[in-house]
């Protein structure tokens, strides 16, 4: 019969293993941006999520919408933003009134976060996908930095990683971004990760620019897939932060992107502006984002004025437009 003493080596080993694991997790939780590298070294993979991705169905939708280089334009929609005369309608209108942007609608996939948003999408657009997330209800308006808002942002990030794994490049755009010109000519060929800025200091390579993850162009490759896995996992190191803030913290380690063999480029607000830092030249602007703005009512008010300003600009003779001098009246309700 086995005696207690026979189990002592095993017990000591197990206690030692548990203690070591506790020390590792405690160490990682205290780390700053370098903590992500710690996760890589110790072999912590991306956690399993409860969002149900129909890979076959998603792959089919992406293929139908993809450009020749497998690039798709992606955005997300919930019931609150899908209501008639709400954000969805303004977003689609901007494509119709922009300069040669209407043709890009065939490359747009709208990812619905709830059943009603999916139903509304199918009445307005040919390429819709329902992202079913078990136990979560994203139908109502999600106020900035609330628990549901944070969860929705992180689940969106994890979904984008799936798109990369399906070997599609993507240009993700928040739906409160109005499209006035095609942005693709402004994406440099040597970078696999390009992101908009809340404020841009003039240097696209400067990590001191503040990123805005509402508009990001990413090429599918092993480096970007790995990066998105660990970016999602980083929520455990920075509880209570949204993915944009976590990215801003991670990039403070100047070697962070080098570790992933990834170059980040920040997009110029002269072309990709927003209410934080508006584009000043309507002859250059591609997109305008209702960022630095809390509350759907405020966004709707200013976005409607934004579209009116664009229509007034495009109605002018070519020579008058070339002379410049046109300015936005916004932000008004969205002043920060």
Of 23-27, 161-165, 271-275, which gets the smallest average pLDDT?
A: 23-27
pTM tops 0.75, yes or no: yes
- Rounded (10°) angle between helices 147-165 and 243-250: 70
For residue 247, what are the CA distances in angstroms to 210, 227, 332?
A: 9, 11, 29
Q: Confidence band (pLDDT; 50, 70, 90) for 242?
A: confident
CB 257 within 8 A of CB 184: no
Strands (E), 123-271: 128-130, 132-133, 169-173, 177-179, 193-199, 210-218, 264-266
pLDDT value at 35 more than 80:
no
> Within a domain: residue 304?
no
Q: Which two tokens stand for residue 141?
A: 């308006």
> Within a domain: residue 33?
no
> Within a domain: residue 127?
yes
Question: Residue 184 is part of a domain; what is its CATH number?
Answer: 3.90.550
Of 118-132, 133-147, 291-305, 306-320, which gets the smallest average pLDDT?
A: 133-147
> Within a domain: residue 327?
no
> Within a domain: residue 93?
yes
> Within a domain: residue 325?
no
Which strands sit side by side in the sheet containing 287-289, from one edge to the other? 177-179, 287-289, 272-274
Domain span at residue 76 reads 51-273
Instruction: Work out how many domains the chain is built from and give that number.
Output: 1
> Within a domain: residue 264?
yes
Q: What is the mean pLDDT of the chain?
A: 84
Q: Confidence band (pLDDT; 50, 70, 90) for 38?
A: very low
Of 9-23, 40-54, 199-213, 283-297, which gets the smallest average pLDDT?
A: 9-23
The per-residue pLDDT for 37 is 46
> Within a domain: residue 85?
yes
pLDDT tens for 67-86 read 999 999 999 999 999 999 99
């Amino acid at each position: 019969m086995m005696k207690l003493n026979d189990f002592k080596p095993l017990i000591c080993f197990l206690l030692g293993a548990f203690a070591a694991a506790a020390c590792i997790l405690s160490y990682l939780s205290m780390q700053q941006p370098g903590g992500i590298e710690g996760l890589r070294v110790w072999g912590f993979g991306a956690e399993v999520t409860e969002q149900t991705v129909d890979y076959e169905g998603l792959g089919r939708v992406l293929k139908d919408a993809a450009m020749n280089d497998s690039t798709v334009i992606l955005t997300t929609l919930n019931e609150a933003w899908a209501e008639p005369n709400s954000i969805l309608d303004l977003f689609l209108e901007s494509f119709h009134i922009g300069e040669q942007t209407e043709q890009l609608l065939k490359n747009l996939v709208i990812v619905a976060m709830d059943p009603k948003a999916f139903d509304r999408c199918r009445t307005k657009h040919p390429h819709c996908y329902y992202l079913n997330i078990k136990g979560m209800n994203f139908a109502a308006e999600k106020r900035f930095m609330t628990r549901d808002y944070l969860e929705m942002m992180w689940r969106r990030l994890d979904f984008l990683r799936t798109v990369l794994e399906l070997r599609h490049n993507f240009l993700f755009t928040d739906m409160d971004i109005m499209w006035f010109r095609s942005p693709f000519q402004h994406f440099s060929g040597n970078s696999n990760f390009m992101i908009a800025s809340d404020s841009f200091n003039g240097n696209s390579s400067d990590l001191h620019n503040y990123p805005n993850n509402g508009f990001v162009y990413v090429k599918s490759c092993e480096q970007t897939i790995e990066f998105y896995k660990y970016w999602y996992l980083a929520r455990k190191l920075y509880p209570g932060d949204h993915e944009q803030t976590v990215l801003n913290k991670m990039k403070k380690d100047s070697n962070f992107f080098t570790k992933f063999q990834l170059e980040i480029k920040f997009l110029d607000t002269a072309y990709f502006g927003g209410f934080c830092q508006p584009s000043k030249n309507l002859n250059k602007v591609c997109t305008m984002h209702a960022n630095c703005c809390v509350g759907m009512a405020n966004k709707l008010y200013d976005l409607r004025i934004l579209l009116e300003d664009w229509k007034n600009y495009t109605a002018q003779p070519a020579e008058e437009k070339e002379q410049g001098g046109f300015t936005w009246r916004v932000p008004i309700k969205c002043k920060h």
